Amino acid sequence: METKKKTVLIVDDDIDSMTQLTMHMTKMGFNVISADNQKEGEELINANKPDLAIFDLMMDNKDSGFILSYKIKKKYPDVPVIIATAVTAETGMLFGLNTEEEKKWIKADLYLEKGLRYDQLEIEVGKLLNL
Amino acid sequence: MATLKVLIVDDEPGIRSGISRILKNFSVDFPFIDEAFTFESIEAGTGEEALDILNAGPIDIVLLDNKLPGIHGIEVLEHINQKQIDTTVMMITSYASLDLAIKATNNGAYNFVPKPFTPQELKTAMEGITKHVYLSRMTKQLNTEGKQIRFQFLSVLSHELKSPINAVEGYLRIMQDKQVGSNLEDYETMIDRSLERIRGMRSLIMDMLDLTKLENGKKKREITKVDLVQIARLSIDTMTPMAIQKNVKVFIDSDEPSVYLNADSSEIEIIFNNLVSNAVKYNVQDGSVTILIKSEGNKIKVSVADTGIGISEEDITKLFQDFSRIKNERTKGISGSGLGLSIMKKMVEEYYHGQVSVISEPDKGSTFIVEIPQNS
């Protein structure tokens, strides 16, 4: 029986990060649609309902990923969202979903630090999509 | 006009209303402060009452008598000190002993005014305390802003440094797992991209070093007579490999063979390197760069014009910010730290009291102009 390919929306302004994510997700059997900035990301959200979304955090704006996450959850509350970023707690800047206030408007399901391993990514994606 | 809240704590109603009356028609201004300060009085007859008022909301200044019916002034002061209430206290007391004075000062009292005092004495004391309040607030504000900027800078910096590491690491893992087979040729793009990201990181580190020099390097500056034309030539040499790749011609146009400025040559090199490398990097294939250096009246004008991709009006406003990079179809694939222009501008303005401006038209090219007063 042939199952329809699942679609993942990736928005990332780092071309290498995008290349690698696209490669891994394709390998996992996803159909990839992508944009490299917030504006085009928003357009894709308006035009498609993906099965999963992966957003970089800092793009045109420092919180582009959060904004995209908010917008996609407003339109499709059931689409799981992963925010992947190179920003970490090392500088004291916490960008996780820590406070209740943040959780209220940042609706991402998972927050991942970039430099993530392919196998980890596969496990996390599997969990989010109940595969 | 700013109004400072003054809490007057004295058990004698006559003194309280007397002080209130004086303060009502009094304002303080200083030549270095734009606004004048006026005062709003709040009266308390006991130390307990004073504590309630202090705990309820912000009070800028407390005029505090020591001898009060319940708890004494010094105890009110101790409470303020312990709870770290942000206020400035001036003791007004007729029974000022040395012992009390020491105790009060140790608990952070700003000043003493012995009772009885004339209206003029009170006004003079209020001027002093107002200046103190203003200055300590300004210092506090500047410190927090400074910390904020530093903090933001570090978080962006960590992002900029980690992105290339992640990219290279990702490619290496793909190669390690031989994800696209065992032919090395199939990994060529990944290798090229990895090298490109490493180059980008190196230039970020170089820029960071320039910035560090700029921030704490004043003591090491060496001012000599520097020939700008010669430095421009050095910059062109540095950029030649990239210029050849794009077949961009770089010209120097100067009326005289040498134009001198009293400056630190390494700083001038940074300025020229930034201008020339941008002009080549953001140029088109077969484009050109024209560097003009001339002495005009009592200033030196350097302009670097390219025939490159240009900058939109909106993007020009972001151009000189730290880590700001203009992202569009045409800048894709051009690597940079986003620090170069910000460093250059800081250098020109802070060290040479000069100005940097830019004229640009998308798809036609940009001209960066640096003007430096000659006797800076």
Task: Determine whether the interchain pair B173/A117 forms a contact, defined as Cβ–Cβ distance below 8 Å.
Answer: yes
Strand partners, B111: B90
Cα separation of A36 and A54, whole Å? 12
Which architecture, in CATH terms, is B222-376?
Answer: 2-Layer Sandwich (3.30)
Give the model's pLDDT for residue A103. Answer: 55
Mean pLDDT along residues B203-209 = 79
pLDDT of B374:
87
What would the pLDDT profile of B259-290 be if each residue is shown by its tens digit?
A: 999 998 888 988 998 899 899 989 999 999 99
Q: What single letter denotes the amino acid at residue B154?
A: L
Nearest to B163 among A23, A86, A90 (CB): A86
B72 near B66, Cβ under 8 Å?
yes
Beta carbons of B177 and A93 less than 8 Å apart: no
Q: Is residue A77 included in any domain, yes or no?
A: yes
Q: Which residues pair with B248 in a beta bridge?
A: none
Say if A97 falls within a structural domain.
no
Q: Considering chain B, what is the average pLDDT of its residues? A: 85
CB–CB contact B174 A114 (8 Å):
no
- Tell me: pLDDT of A1 over 60: no
- What pLDDT score does B149 carry? 62
Q: Which two tokens stand for residue B324?
A: 């700001």
> How many residue contacts between A and B have a Cβ separation below 8 Å?
64
The CATH class given to the B2-117 domain equals alpha beta
Most confident of the ranges A13-17, B142-146, B202-206, B320-324: A13-17
Q: Which residues of B touch A14 (CB under 8 A)?
A: 163, 167
Q: How confident is the model at residue B134 (pLDDT cuts 50, 70, 90)?
A: confident
Predicted local distance difference test score (pLDDT) of residue A72: 92
Q: Measured between CA atoms, how close is A101 to chain B, in angstroms?
A: 21
- Chain A hits for B167, Cβ within 8 Å: 14, 16-17, 20
Q: Does position B366 have pLDDT exceeding 60, yes or no?
A: yes
Which range, of A16-30, A103-117, B7-21, averages the lowest pLDDT?
A: A103-117
Contacts of A109 (CB under 8 A, 6+ apart): A80, A81, A82, A128
Q: Is residue A17 part of a domain?
A: no
- Both structure tokens of B104: 């009060």
**Is pLDDT at B140 greater than 70 in this prediction?**
yes
- Closest CA–CA distance from residue B90 to any residue of chain A (Å): 40
| Cβ contact A19–B179 (<8 Å) | no
pLDDT beyond 60 at B239: yes
B249 touches chain A (CB under 8 A): no
pLDDT of residue A91: 40
A41: in domain: yes
Model pLDDT for residues A83-92, shown as the tens digit of each residue: 887 765 444 3
Tokens of A27: 């390998």
Rounded mean pLDDT, B229-249: 87
Residue given tokens 């009885």 in the structure block? B116
Interface of A with B in 96-125 (CB under 8 A): 114-115, 117-118
B169 contacts on A by Cβ (under 8 Å):
115
A23-32, B306-315, B324-333, B338-347 — which is least confidently predicted?
A: B324-333
Q: Across chain A, what does the average pLDDT equal? A: 82
pLDDT at B166 over 60: yes
Q: If you average pLDDT over residues B304-309, what whole number do you get?
A: 94
Average pLDDT for residues A32-46, to the nearest whole number?
Answer: 93
Q: Is the minimum CB–CB distance between A37 and chain B shorter than 8 Å?
A: yes
**How large is the ipTM?**
0.75
Which residues of chain B are in CATH 3.40.50.2300 domains? Answer: 2-117
Q: How many CB atoms neighbour CB B366 within 10 A?
A: 23
User: What is the number of structural domains in chain A?
Assistant: 1
Q: What is the DSSP string of A23-82?
A: HHHHHTTPEEEEESSHHHHHHHHHH---SEEEEESSSSSTTHHHHHHHHHHHH-TTS-EE
Most confident segment among A86-90, A104-108, A116-120, B122-126 = B122-126
Res. A50: pLDDT tops 90: yes
| Residue A99 binned pLDDT confidence (cut-offs 50, 70, 90) | low
Chain A residue with CA closest to B197: the answer is A16
| Residue at A6 is within a domain | no
Residues of chain B with CATH 3.30.565.10: 222-376
Residue B172 confidence class, pLDDT cut points 50, 70, 90:
very high
Structural domain containing residue A118: 29-92+102-129
Query: How many Cα atoms occupy the beta-carbon half-sphere of B237 within 13 Å?
Result: 7
Q: Tell me if A38 is assigned to some domain.
A: yes
Half-sphere exposure of B361 (CA within 13 A, CB side): 2
Establish if A14 belongs to a structural domain: no
Q: What is the pLDDT of residues B53-104, one digit of tens each?
A: 999 989 999 999 988 999 999 899 999 988 888 899 998 877 666 777 777 8
CB B91 within 8 A of CB B66: yes
CATH number at residue A88: 3.40.50.2300
Specify if A52 maps to a domain.
yes
* Residue of B155, B163, B333 lying closest to A93 (CB–CB): B155
